[in-house]
Amino acid sequence: MAEFRYRFNVNWVDTDALSVVHFSNYFRYFEKTEEAFYASTGLDHRKESERHSVAFPRVDVRCSYEFPCRFGDEVEVSLKLADIRDKAVNLNFEVTNVTGGRLSARGAVTLVCVDTGKWKAVSIPPELREVYSKLS
């Protein structure tokens, strides 16, 4: 799998008074897609993380917006692995407004693997590296 794709429709609560999806919700769409990707791999990312006493907080996120999404629009988010290092993962996202036939936004998220006890960066456990490697 070179990339993971996830489709859903924009919910009413995601919109704001300009009738478009609020910009902060794109980060929720990224996360939702990441969760759907983990679920698709068959490995329980969260349980595996807990077993290794690690968590993956986001340390750097960004998004640029090109075309709005509106209530009910079908959206497809694609997730790609940009880069994986010893202790960190870079993920790239693209949100396509399928209904509008346009790229809506591009984003990137950096996750760091931290020990949940000391909250220090540690090496990504092999089983979880494996999960991310399915994206390349």
Q: Does 27 bind a second copy (CB under 8 A)?
A: yes
Q: Does 15 bind a second copy (CB under 8 A)?
A: yes
Q: Which is nearer to a second copy, 127 or 136 (CB)?
A: 127
Tokens 């020990």 locate to 115
Tell the smallest beta-carbon distance from residue 109 to a second copy (Å): 9
70 binds a second copy per the rule CB under 8 A: yes
Contact call for residue 40 and a second copy (CB under 8 A): no
Count how many residues are written for the chain. Answer: 136
Q: Is 9 in the site for a second copy (CB under 8 A)?
A: yes
The phi, psi pair for 70, rounded to 5°, reads -120, 165
Element (H, E) at 104: strand 102-112
In the window 47-66, what residues touch a second copy (CB under 8 A)? 55, 57-66
Q: Tell the smallest beta-carbon distance from residue 128 to a second copy (Å).
A: 16
Alpha helix (H) residue ranges in the chain = 25-41, 45-51, 126-133
According to DSSP, residue 123 is labeled: P
Residue 11 in the binding site for a second copy (CB under 8 A):
yes
Q: φ and ψ at 127, to 5 degrees?
A: -60, -30
Enumerate residues 6+ apart whose C-beta is below 8 A from 122: 54, 87, 113, 114, 115
Residue whose tokens read 């996830």:
6
Q: Does 31 bind a second copy (CB under 8 A)?
A: yes
What residues line the site for a second copy (CB under 8 A)? 9, 11-13, 15-20, 22-25, 27-28, 31-32, 35, 39, 44, 46, 55, 57-66, 68, 70-72
